């Protein structure tokens, strides 16, 4: 298998003694170099602990999942190209830095992906955001494309594709096909999610070998209804209050 499962690990900075660090379950590992898992820091694990808790109320669910979304967006942006850029500081000294290069846009997979739009806007002012609606066809049980609206020049942009839960990867695969049909190169797509299943990631990485996935956590797997376990339930229902 290409996945090493989740395991308990001591959480905390390396300088702290092992017996001073609490144990917590950390993300599984996957052997695809296109899949990037956020560092399993005490803050990230604490945030995930809150949003996984069935007793967490909606206001806290939104607040704490937004903090994770912010980390995902910042990490996603690290994958975009930059070029050298020198500035002069108020002390008259030069600083050899970099600046962003290239245009971006977000694309949310409705409905749950829309919950990640604000986190993207918080980092990228006035970013363009397209939408794709894919739902399961009741007759065939296959994902079906119902709606999409994307920036006209999307083929020239880097795309941050947003969906908080990467379960089977079925809807996301269809969304990627839509983006590719509009001329977006696979290597310019960054798929951001909070929790991914090993099944969804393997499916995705083998189907789209150049597309990068940024996730906060690789969970154990899927149950018989394709919910991620241990997971956090239905992200869209918890975020939008439609339980």
Write out the catalytic residue numbers: 136, 140, 234, 237
Distances from the Cα of 89 to the Cαs of 84, 85, 95, 200, in angstroms?
16, 13, 7, 47
Q: Is the dihedral of CA 107, 164, 217, 23 positive or negative?
A: positive
Q: Using CA atoms, how far apart are residues 56 and 64, in angstroms rounded to an integer?
A: 10
- The residue (of 154 and 214) whose beta carbon lies closer to ligand URA is 214
- The residue (of 160 and 228) whose beta carbon lies closer to ligand URA is 228
Shortest Å distance, C-beta 201 to ligand URA: 13
Determine if the peptide bond prior to 111 is cis (ω within 30°): yes
Shortest Å distance, C-beta 132 to ligand URA: 15
Residues in touch with ligand URA (CB under 6 A)? 112, 165, 167, 227-228, 231, 234-236
Residue 181 CA to chain centroid, in angstroms?
22
Angle at 146 between CA 204 and CA 148, to 5 degrees: 75
- The residue (of 114 and 184) whose beta carbon lies closer to ligand URA is 114
Shortest Å distance, C-beta 171 to ligand URA: 9
Shortest Å distance, C-beta 223 to ligand URA: 8
- The residue (of 34 and 65) whose beta carbon lies closer to ligand URA is 65
Tokens of 94: 């030069």
86 burial (CB, 10 Å; 0-12 / 13-18 / 19+) is exposed
């Amino acid at each position: 298998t290409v996945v090493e499962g989740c395991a308990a690990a001591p959480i905390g900075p390396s300088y702290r003694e092992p017996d001073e660090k609490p144990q917590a379950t950390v993300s599984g590992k996957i052997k695809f170099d296109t899949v990037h898992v956020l560092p399993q820091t005490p803050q990230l694990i604490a945030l995930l602990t809150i949003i996984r808790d069935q007793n967490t109320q909606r206001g806290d669910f939104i607040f704490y999942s937004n903090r994770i979304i912010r980390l995902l967006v910042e990490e996603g942006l690290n994958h975009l190209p930059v070029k050298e850029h020198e500035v002069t500081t108020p002390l008259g000294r030069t600083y050899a830095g970099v600046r962003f290069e290239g245009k971006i846009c977000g694309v949310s997979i409705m409905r749950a992906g829309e919950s990640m739009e604000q986190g993207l806007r918080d980092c990228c002012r006035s970013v363009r955001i397209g939408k794709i609606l894919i739902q399961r066809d009741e007759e065939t049980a296959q994902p079906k494309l119902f709606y999409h609206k994307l920036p006209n020049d999307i083929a020239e942009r880097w795309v941050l594709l947003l969906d908080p839960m990467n379960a089977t990867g079925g809807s996301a695969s269809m969304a990627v096909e839509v983006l590719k049909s509009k001329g977006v190169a696979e290597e310019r797509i960054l798929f951001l999610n909070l929790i991914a299943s090993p099944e969804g990631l393997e499916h995705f990485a083998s189907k789209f070998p150049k597309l990068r996935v940024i996730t906060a956590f690789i969970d154990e797997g899927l149950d018989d209804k394709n919910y991620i376990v241990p997971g956090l339930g239905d992200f869209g229902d918890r975020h939008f209050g439609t339980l």
